[in-house]
Amino acid sequence: MGSAKHVLMDMLAQIKKVVARGKNDGEFQRQLLLLLYELLEMVRDGGLKALDQHVESPEESEVFKKYPMILGERKLTAFLVDNFRLMAMGRITSHELEGMLDQEIEAIEGEFLQPSKSLGKIAEAMPGFGILAAVLGIVTTMGSIGGSVAEVGVQVAGAMVGTFMGILFCYGFLDTLAGAIVQRVKSEMSAFECVKVVLCAQVAGKPTLLAVDAGRKLIQLEVKPSFATLESWITKLRTN
């Protein structure tokens, strides 16, 4: 009740991602790095204006269509194309761009973490609901205080189950799930950090491969490809 509708929708979407665990992170990182490489090569050959048709309608871009996992992440795609537009509007230094991107990433991360915060508050409330269930059970038991010991015992046991369920849902499910969402958000934010570093390196005048490799280093360790792997991907892309 205390959460906005879009927060609840995001919460359901993130819970599905955590439970499914179906995302191929290695393939996702490959598509991200190759997309950045292709876009930067276009900038090198024709300037930022060469990207106009791609950043204005990424869903219709032949370059973006080659990388459906990136195109499916709408917020990441919007972050990428919006900042290419920003770079095309006028001259901007790498330090100025880095400062703006840091602020934007901080805002995006805060939005991504809001569902986990709301879920954490629900988890914190569960023991309280368990206590309320126990108190209500004891109150109803008082009406049978003159009955048999067995009957009273069953009702007291039922009251205690309320407390047990509240604690179980808090620490066994909801709090753990909120923590898993936070970990997944941190993993997703590494893609935004990768894009930021690549764009800043491009504005600073670094060669395309060096700029993309700078972004590769920001990818989380468990899914980060080696430089040799990145080179093999790019070589294969050039030959196709």
Determine if the pTM surpasses 0.85: no
d(CA 129, CA 135): 10
Structural tokens at position 84: 């290419």
The per-residue pLDDT for range 167-190, each reduced to its tens digit, is: 999 999 999 999 999 988 988 899
pLDDT band at 100 (very low <50, low <70, confident <90, very high): very high
Q: Is residue 151 part of a domain?
A: no
Which residues, 6+ apart, have CB-to-CB distance to 91 below 8 Å?
none
What average pLDDT does the segment 54-74 reach?
90
Q: Is residue 110 part of a domain?
A: yes
For residue 24, the model assigns a pLDDT of 57
Lowest-pLDDT range of 29-38, 62-71, 142-151, 164-173: 142-151
Q: Is residue 223 part of a domain?
A: yes
Residues 104-125 as b/e (b if ≥16 CB within 10 A, e otherwise) read bbeebbeebbbbbebbbebbee
Q: Is residue 154 part of a domain?
A: no
Higher pLDDT, residue 29 or 25: 29
The per-residue pLDDT for range 113-152, each reduced to its tens digit, is: 999 999 999 999 999 988 998 888 888 888 777 777 788 8
Q: Is residue 165 part of a domain?
A: no
Count how many residues are written for the chain.
Answer: 240
111 has a pLDDT exceeding 70: yes
Q: Is residue 58 part of a domain?
A: yes
pLDDT band at 154 (very low <50, low <70, confident <90, very high): confident
Q: What is the 3-state secondary structure (H, E, C) of 123-173?
A: HHHHHHHHHHHHHHHHHHHHCCCCCCHHHHHHHHHHHHHHHHHHHHHHHHH
Angle between helices 208-216 and 227-239 (to 10 degrees): 130
What average pLDDT does the segment 45-56 reach?
84
Q: Is 40 in contact with 54 (CB distance < 8 Å)?
A: no
Q: Is residue 158 part of a domain?
A: no
Q: How many domains does the chain have?
A: 1
What is the extent of the structural domain holding 33? 5-18+25-125+187-239
d(CA 172, CA 158): 20
Q: Where are the alpha helices (DSSP H) in the chain?
A: 5-20, 25-46, 52-56, 62-65, 68-72, 74-89, 94-142, 149-167, 175-203, 208-216, 227-239
